[in-house]
A and B are shown apart, each in its own frame.
Chain A
Amino acid sequence: MSSTLHKRRDFIERSILSALAFLKEATLSEEYANRKGFLQSLDPRFKTISFLAFLVTAVSLKSAALIGTLYGFCLILAFFSNIPIRNFLLRTLLFIPLFSLCIVLPTLFSIVTPGEPVWSFRVLGINGIITRPGMDGAILFVVRIATSVSLVVLLSLTTQHSELLKVLRLFGVPQVFVLTVSMCYRYLYLFATMVENIFTAVKSRVGVVSHQRHGQNVVAWNIANTWNRTTQMSEEIYMAMLSRGYTGEPRLLSKFYAMPKDWIWLLCAVIICAGLFYRGHT
């Protein structure tokens, strides 16, 4: 009984600390991006463009088999990029297709999608008929979602987040926006650590068990305190930027160098997409 009560009282703290832990893990999870592998060796600009092309292909194709081929190619790329396939599958296949299946469930039935019945059943006096067009549509939808999500996850796993942000410049995003987002990303970890330290400090003074109302107060103080500190820090960071010559239009280092390999990769990506499109239309 006391343990249940304790868990309930700790709910806010545990939720916040778990969210912070996730945030920190997300900002630090560049382990795969720093490994040596095929996708890691490519120029981020070429990689992003090719993955965009794959995404457009996955979304445009109307054949589950062809999208499945693209998914297979995505797994091969993951393998040659030193990404553990089991982890990759768990990350991409466990939840997203399940969610998409929930969304697509009604379209399986003849009420929404009429057509040739594949399987019929009776539950609580109601007749349910699953139709072939309904099933085909559901499979196509789930495979398309799984492939698209896998492609995006693979791109983000194999590219440093700061480089991905820089690629935004390719699409005409202003330099100042890229810098601002990069800075937000850079300071997320710092603020997550700060909030975590505040919780540890509170715990060291009031103990682990705190009343729910008290817990809410602590969260409110924490939000106010973090807000104050972020405001103060943002002013100081702006000063640090001014001090090093910033005048409103930032100039950043462009770290990208295109190699022959990158052009070959882009050509291969175009050929694969064109091939899939061609097969899809014949």
Chain B
Amino acid sequence: MSDIIFEVKDVHYSYLGKFPALCGIDMTIRSGEKIAVIGANGTGKSTLLQLLDGLIFPDHGQVIAFGERLLEHSQDNEKAAHRFRQRVGLVFQNADIQLFCPSVREDIAFGPLQFGIAEEEVKKRTQEVAQILDIQHLLDRVPHQLSIGEKRRVAIASVLAIDPDVYLFDEPTAGLDPLTVRHIIDFIVNANQQGKTIITATHDLHIIGEIADTVYVFGRNKSIVRGGSSESVLNDRALLESNNLLHIHQHCHENREHVHQHLPLEPHN
């Protein structure tokens, strides 16, 4: 039981009190797990990650993190907030939101500095993180001048600098070129091999085989339709089709029309 990191119990959440985003979510996440949350747009994946990161709080039900219930007022305590945030890091879907400092270097250093880590140590850590993600050449650049792929890598670096136990990734590969997707998958797999817990929200089925052992499928009713091993979920074509995650694809091969399903089972190599 002690290795349980998150317990999500019958969580309901709605925006402005009238637009439901999550309805009755139950999950248990253990240390070192690789979990993917999949679902069509607007099924509540990002909302779940924000709940797990203690940025928003459920209308009903509870989120227990590291044995303690996540409450809004507990985050008002600086020590408690820092203790939690040093253990959980969220990489936002929109990198422009995550990169709010005037330079890449300052963005990477922002997190560790808030936790009171000495400036010299922060500078050292910034260099190390930049080296891991191969962004040393971007350190003095302004974030708005970077490409989407570069921004995503810097966003990951800004969380890696905190060195959390749990990484929450919100659509980490959306809109990226194949090589950058490959780098991000490698990063996620390596982090997990080093004992980090990974929770990824995505609808890119091609990467799930590599980045998750357990998959939760979110449906249009904003609740979990099914959870299970990635292989069993990805093999359930009917489930994926009914939740807008598979589609019939039609295209031409040398004047011959070809109709097939987009299959998620083959991982990127």
Residues of A within 8 A of B (CB): 27-28, 30, 161-162, 165, 182-183, 185-187, 189-190, 233, 236-237, 239-247, 250-255
> Is there an interface contact between B101 and A240, defined as CB atoms closer than 8 Å?
no
Does any Cβ of A come within 8 Å of B111's Cβ? yes
Residues of B within 8 A of A (CB): 50, 53, 55, 75, 78, 81-82, 85-86, 89-90, 92, 94, 96-98, 100-103, 105-106, 109-111, 113-116, 119, 122-123, 142-145, 158-159, 162
Contact of A240 (CB < 8 Å), options: B81, B92, B106: B92
B81 contacts across to A, CB distance below 8 A: 242, 245, 247
B145 contacts across to A, CB distance below 8 A: 28
Known contacts A182-B102, A186-B102, A186-B142: A236-B159 contact under CB 8 Å: no
> Is there an interface contact between B92 and A245, defined as CB atoms closer than 8 Å?
no
Closest to A27 in B: B144
Which one of A183, A250, A253 has the greatest number of beta carbons of chain B within 10 Å?
A: A253
* Smallest beta-carbon distance B158→chain A, Å: 7
Closest to B108 in A: A253
> Is there an interface contact between B100 and A247, defined as CB atoms closer than 8 Å?
no
Known contacts A185-B102, A186-B101, A237-B100: A245-B111 contact under CB 8 Å: yes
* Smallest beta-carbon distance B7→chain A, Å: 20
Closest to B113 in A: A251
* Smallest beta-carbon distance A212→chain B, Å: 33
* Smallest beta-carbon distance B144→chain A, Å: 5
The 6 closest A-B pairs by CB, nearest first: A162-B102, A245-B114, A244-B111, A251-B113, A189-B144, A253-B109
Interface residues of chain A: helix, strand, loop or mixed (majority):
helix
B89 contacts across to A, CB distance below 8 A: 243-244
Known contacts A245-B81, A247-B81: A182-B55 contact under CB 8 Å: no
The 19 listed contacts between A and B (C-beta, < 8 Å) are A28-B145, A162-B103, A162-B106, A165-B102, A182-B101, A183-B100, A183-B101, A189-B144, A190-B144, A237-B100, A244-B89, A244-B114, A245-B85, A245-B115, A247-B78, A251-B114, A253-B106, A253-B122, A255-B106
B109 contacts across to A, CB distance below 8 A: 253
| A252, B100: Cα distance in complex, Å | 12
B159 contacts across to A, CB distance below 8 A: 244
> Is there an interface contact between B55 and A244, defined as CB atoms closer than 8 Å?
no
Given A183-B101, A246-B114: 14 more A-B contacts, CB < 8 Å? A182-B101, A190-B144, A236-B94, A239-B55, A242-B75, A244-B111, A245-B162, A247-B81, A250-B114, A251-B113, A252-B113, A253-B119, A254-B119, A255-B105
Closest to B107 in A: A244
A247 contacts across to B, CB distance below 8 A: 78, 81-82, 114
Which one of B55, B89, B97, B143 has the greatest number of beta carbons of chain A within 10 Å?
A: B97
